[in-house]
Amino acid sequence: MMNQNPRRQELLDRINAVSFAIDDVILYLDTHPCDREAIAYYQECSRLRNEALKEYAEKFGPLTIDYAMRDASDNWNWTETPWPWMEGGC
């Protein structure tokens, strides 16, 4: 079954890619903590990930707890939105 929302899948792919880059640069920074280029790269990737997570949360519901309570709602309703794997094939 194909995913019915290509924009949703595109955002998930972007989040996964930038999250991988963050994990990778964190490992590098463990052994090279003074590398300014790596620190700048980490900061840029972190910014891009936060933007993508925010956009995803606004359009499809939060993926992380960090974005679950960012709306003005008084209700704990983030679990009522479809999970990423419920929209299409995995």
Query: 45 near 18, Cβ under 8 Å?
Result: yes
Report pLDDT for 66.
73
Q: Where are the domains of the chain?
A: 6-78
Lookup result for tokens 């999970």: 83
Lookup result for tokens 């590098």: 28
CA-to-CA distance for 71 and 78, rounded, in angstroms?
A: 10
Does the structure show a pLDDT above 50 at 27?
yes
CB atoms within 10 A of CB 42: 18
Does the structure show a pLDDT above 80 at 71?
no
Work out the pLDDT band at 2, boundaries 50, 70, 90. Answer: very low
CB atoms within 10 A of CB 44: 14
Report pLDDT for 1.
39
Work out the pLDDT band at 6, boundaries 50, 70, 90. Answer: confident
Work out the pLDDT band at 17, boundaries 50, 70, 90. Answer: very high
